Amino acid sequence: MSRILFKCAMVMVISVTCSLLITGALMAANDMHDPRGYMIATVCPLLISPAISFLVFRQAEKLRLTLETLNRVMQELEITNAKLFEKSSRDSMTGLLNREAFFNYVDGARAQLAGSLLIIDADHFKKINDLHGHYNGDGALMAIAQCITTCVGLQDSIARIGGEEFAVYLATDDESQVKSIAETIREEVTRIEFRTPENQRVPLSVSIGGVVGMSKGSIADFFQIADRRLYEAKRNGRNCVCVQSNIKNAA
């Protein structure tokens, strides 16, 4: 309000000054020297300008405050939308990408750089749930998810794509590197010291299937190949890695 009153006072001073100058110039041009003219030139702006300028400045101030509020609301809405988008793309339990978000990520990432795919399945997970309960089963999955995260690089991406199934997009098409990362994940999972609240150790292991090189072709085809390699790993006794180096040679 003080800012509005200050502006009104400035307008009033300017209005009176201009009115007196114009009146003085007109009276001098017509060789008139009537004090009443200067009085009228002073009183009229004093009566008119404060009310009009107050209304104008008050509306301008309201508009300014409304725009500030609108900008603040829009910023908050953008932040909220970003949080909602992030939440909708994440698995609620592990915090990893969900299946749909992972597919979208891979589709965009493989156009920028060479990549490979791993599918990781927790071994005997139903047995863990049956013997130790779903609470401990969830804890085991979160431990495995954390272990996988520590084994891959910043350019790689991880998702939970099923109940006990994870997927990793590795930003490399180097076969030896892909197999090395897969073996590291497998070995590190077996080292997890996961225990129930009763301090009973639950041994964990994973089977891993993969395909090297995903630059061209259908994403669904690569997932099928990696999935077949996963089941091959399971047929080989679980807790092992089976990586397909070339899509053309997939069984």
Which CATH superfamily is 99-249 part of?
Reverse transcriptase/Diguanylate cyclase domain (3.30.70.270)
Of residues 239 and 10, the one with the higher pLDDT is 239
List alpha helices for 152-245, DSSP H.
175-190, 219-235
Indicate which residues carry an active-site annotation: 164
Percent of the chain with pLDDT over 70: 76
Quote the pLDDT of residue 109.
87
Q: How far is CA 22 from CA 17, 29, 47, in A?
A: 9, 11, 18
- Quote the Cα angle for 37-40-45, to 5°: 135
- List of residues 6+ apart from 199 with CB closer than 8 A: none
Q: pTM above 0.75?
A: no
The overall average pLDDT reported for the chain is 84
Per-residue pLDDT, averaged over 56-79, amounts to 82
At residue 98 the predicted structure's pLDDT band, cuts being 50, 70 and 90, is very high
pLDDT of residue 26: 66
Averaged pLDDT, 213-217: 80
- pLDDT: which is higher, 61 or 189: 189
Average pLDDT (139-153) is 95
For the chain, give the percent of residues with pLDDT over 90. 48
